[in-house]
A and B are shown apart, each in its own frame.
Chain A
């Protein structure tokens, strides 16, 4: 019989051992370029030229640029809007495809497809559909007399951001549905049986059993999706190019502009680096939620 102390030591060794491959990926393969990129954000880096350390100058430059703040605000709206809607619809649809009914398999397949498409293809397809003269959406809206003038989906500054949010929801919804479904499927059916015997209704069961059981999954799905959405590039860049006049620009497209159009690699890394504190705060917050039940 092993003593408790020996068991604890064994667990510790095993704990480290199992993490070695992950640690290599995190600290070596991505860690080195990551640290390098952060360092370069404090330099005047231009591609092909040796960088010179310039302290906080890049950060000062972007914080004093009012376009940066406009873009940051857009990014927050874009992220909160997309993730919020994806969570609500994702939860609803995950519950739906977790029920038993004829055609469930087909519905699951259908719902997965947007995720299976590459971002570039989704973006160019939507851009085409959005156009006001040769796009199908306006053609149908006009034909059905829902609108009398084509909607300027991508060029009206008050609609453009919404238009890219819609595409982001379309593309990212499967991630929510299927991650949450995976969580729902691990719930022990006996818990519902017991609750039913106790006389709890479906709605109460949903909030008393379903949500708490999958709350770690919800937290992590939201966290991952928030980070991805915050950094997502293709949809905005390929549909509106961030336009008109930065009305739909987000941090990642702005990063691209600074790096590749203005040719300031260091400053562009500072733009990307400047949002790290926001994301870190978010991570710490969700971790606390995640570890609460430990």
Chain B
């Protein structure tokens, strides 16, 4: 026993000495990079091939990444270059990108949600894409999501509409029509709400972590009540009677228990989960809920209708959001990225891709919505298409899309104003005053 112990220790000690050397070696010695290039001799014979690095969005519907990978690989073969196609989860894209940018080692091309990509415009990381925008027949709604400060540094990949999911069976049980306005929804919510049995009329998120669901909804209501955060010249116009009414109105859903209490800290996943659990009757979300329903819960899918977003006293004011391509200046294969994006909208491929995703993505180009796929009455996501023509701008509408605008959105300042009323029971006007202060500080105004 003792001998085994001793030899084990001896082994450990030898290991320690060796390990000590190797770890200090790779830490500082210049031999480390050489070792690394030894490990990848792939393109040795015909001289080093050019390389195209593409970080794509990870998509719940597997077909998307499969098709994209095939296309990227084919692109590599056709152009005789190496292609590194990588799927990066959207939740982690930002951390990974920031590290890569700081090391001047970014990918050539990414697909990201438009607010994520927009942030890299301000730090001057992205390539001007006006030439691609001019070459392709993009819809106006799609162009809206790719513009920042009147310039194009992104290319719209596809739109992702946010609409309403409604439990038709519950509404039918109470003989209620589908709501067209926020006030109708509020009146109906009081009828269908049944918290004693664990059912809430609505599932609205108000959490601070991640995503746009909460801020998107609050801003929609503010606009539809006639208010605005900033005007088109970036004057802060938030402190108005209209915005005040909007904030008070949204807060009622929590004050009167029409939405689950936990929603105050929900992230974007919270309303999806609650809807799929069948504990809420009305949510606003992208069509991601639809493809989860199709895949996992056909019974609930049958009870669901997808209806366009509802309007307020001042009508409907929808904004677009979606996926964009962004090309990084410091990438080594920038020209390949441009070529890939320009060829991406080839009709057969593009339509097929959109259809494979099952309606969660809406085409960014004109004239492709008359396919059987979108005309199919069973395709519930087609119920949202009518929203496209009402799209007024992107997330910061009527303000310009710029760095400060997207910061105000990612900081969820409007959401927090509602949360103060709901959680801290702050007076609505006081909360609005604070929101105005925060915006002024952010925009550097007195």
* A–B proximity contact (CB within 8 A): yes
Chain B residues in 8 Å Cβ range of A140: none
Q: In the complex, A251 Cα to B58 Cα: how many Å?
A: 30
Chain A residues in 8 Å Cβ range of B208: 241-245, 257
Q: Could you tell me which residues of chain B, from 234 to 263, have a CB within 8 Å of some CB in chain A?
A: 260-263
Chain B nearest CB from A217 CB (Å) reads 21
Question: For A29, A134, A260, which residue has the most chain B Cβ atoms within 10 angstroms?
Answer: A134
Chain A residues in 8 Å Cβ range of B420: 245
Chain B nearest CB from A29 CB (Å) reads 5
Q: Determine whether A275 belongs to the interface, using a CB cutoff of 8 Å to chain B.
A: no
Whether the Cβ atoms of B27 and A244 lie closer than 8 Å is no
Whether the Cβ atoms of B416 and A47 lie closer than 8 Å is no
Checking A46, A134, A154 against B277 with a beta-carbon cut-off of 8 angstroms, the contacting residue is A134
Q: Could you tell me which residues of chain A, from 105 to 162, have a CB within 8 Å of some CB in chain B?
A: 128, 130-135, 150, 152-157, 160
Q: Determine whether B175 belongs to the interface, using a CB cutoff of 8 Å to chain A.
A: no
Q: In the complex, A156 Cα to B27 Cα: how many Å?
A: 48
Whether the Cβ atoms of A134 and B407 lie closer than 8 Å is no
Q: In the complex, A156 Cα to B125 Cα: how many Å?
A: 41
Chain B residues in 8 Å Cβ range of A48: 98, 101-102, 120, 123-125
Whether the Cβ atoms of A244 and B264 lie closer than 8 Å is yes
User: Do A263 and B198 contact each other (CB < 8 Å), given the known contacts A155-B264, A156-B261, A243-B419?
Assistant: no
Checking A153, A242, A245 against B209 with a beta-carbon cut-off of 8 angstroms, the contacting residue is A242
Q: Determine whether B20 belongs to the interface, using a CB cutoff of 8 Å to chain A.
A: yes
Whether the Cβ atoms of B416 and A245 lie closer than 8 Å is yes
Q: Determine whether A49 belongs to the interface, using a CB cutoff of 8 Å to chain B.
A: yes
User: Do A47 and B279 contact each other (CB < 8 Å), given the known contacts A24-B24, A243-B209?
Assistant: no
Chain B positions 199 through 235: 1 when the CB is less than 8 Å from some CB of chain A, otherwise 0: 1100000111110000000000000000000000000
Whether the Cβ atoms of A28 and B264 lie closer than 8 Å is no
Chain A residues in 8 Å Cβ range of B210: 241
Chain A nearest CB from B266 CB (Å) reads 8
Chain B residues in 8 Å Cβ range of A24: 20, 23-24, 27-28
Q: In the complex, A290 Cα to B20 Cα: how many Å?
A: 28
Chain A residues in 8 Å Cβ range of B16: 21
Chain B residues in 8 Å Cβ range of A133: 198-200, 260, 262, 274, 277, 279-280
Whether the Cβ atoms of A245 and B279 lie closer than 8 Å is no
User: Do A21 and B262 contact each other (CB < 8 Å), given the known contacts A237-B209, A261-B411?
Assistant: no
Checking A21, A150, A237, A257 against B261 with a beta-carbon cut-off of 8 angstroms, the contacting residue is A150
Chain B residues in 8 Å Cβ range of A243: 207-209, 264-265, 419
Whether the Cβ atoms of B209 and A47 lie closer than 8 Å is no
Chain A nearest CB from B210 CB (Å) reads 7
Checking B24, B209, B261, B411 against A155 with a beta-carbon cut-off of 8 angstroms, the contacting residue is B261
Chain A residues in 8 Å Cβ range of B410: 261-262
Chain A nearest CB from B161 CB (Å) reads 25
Whether the Cβ atoms of A160 and B102 lie closer than 8 Å is no
Chain A nearest CB from B416 CB (Å) reads 7
Name A's interface SS. Answer: loop
Checking A47, A247, A257 against B101 with a beta-carbon cut-off of 8 angstroms, the contacting residue is A47
Q: In the complex, A244 Cα to B280 Cα: how many Å?
A: 21
Q: Could you tell me which residues of chain A, from 157 to 192, have a CB within 8 Å of some CB in chain B?
A: 157, 160
Q: Determine whether A240 belongs to the interface, using a CB cutoff of 8 Å to chain B.
A: yes
Question: For A133, A237, A238, which residue has the most chain B Cβ atoms within 10 angstroms?
Answer: A133
Q: In the complex, A86 Cα to B16 Cα: how many Å?
A: 33
Q: In the complex, A160 Cα to B261 Cα: how many Å?
A: 12
Q: Determine whether A35 belongs to the interface, using a CB cutoff of 8 Å to chain B.
A: no
Whether the Cβ atoms of A47 and B419 lie closer than 8 Å is no
Whether the Cβ atoms of A132 and B424 lie closer than 8 Å is no
Chain B nearest CB from A28 CB (Å) reads 5
Chain A nearest CB from B221 CB (Å) reads 19
Question: For A48, A49, A153, A160, which residue has the most chain B Cβ atoms within 10 angstroms?
Answer: A48
Q: Determine whether B273 belongs to the interface, using a CB cutoff of 8 Å to chain A.
A: yes
Q: Determine whether A20 belongs to the interface, using a CB cutoff of 8 Å to chain B.
A: yes
State the A residues within 8 Å of B (CB).
Answer: 20-21, 24-25, 28-29, 46-49, 128, 130-135, 150, 152-157, 160, 237-245, 247, 257, 260-263
New A-B pairs, 20, CB < 8 Å, besides A243-B419, A262-B411:
A21-B24, A24-B27, A24-B28, A47-B101, A48-B120, A131-B260, A152-B261, A153-B262, A155-B261, A155-B262, A155-B263, A240-B207, A241-B208, A244-B207, A244-B423, A245-B208, A257-B208, A260-B94, A262-B410, A263-B407
State the B residues within 8 Å of A (CB).
Answer: 16, 19-20, 23-24, 27-28, 94-95, 98, 101-102, 119-120, 122-125, 198-200, 206-210, 260-265, 267, 270, 273-274, 277, 279-280, 407, 410-412, 416, 419-420, 423-424
Q: Provide a sorted-by-A list of 30 A–B residue pairs whose CB atoms are within 8 angstroms.
A: A20-B20, A24-B20, A24-B27, A28-B27, A29-B23, A46-B123, A47-B98, A47-B101, A48-B102, A48-B120, A49-B124, A131-B270, A131-B273, A133-B199, A133-B200, A133-B260, A134-B274, A134-B279, A152-B262, A155-B262, A155-B264, A237-B209, A240-B265, A241-B267, A243-B207, A245-B208, A257-B208, A260-B98, A261-B411, A263-B122
Interchain residue pairs A-B with the least CB separation, the first 6:
A241-B209, A21-B20, A133-B279, A155-B264, A134-B277, A152-B261
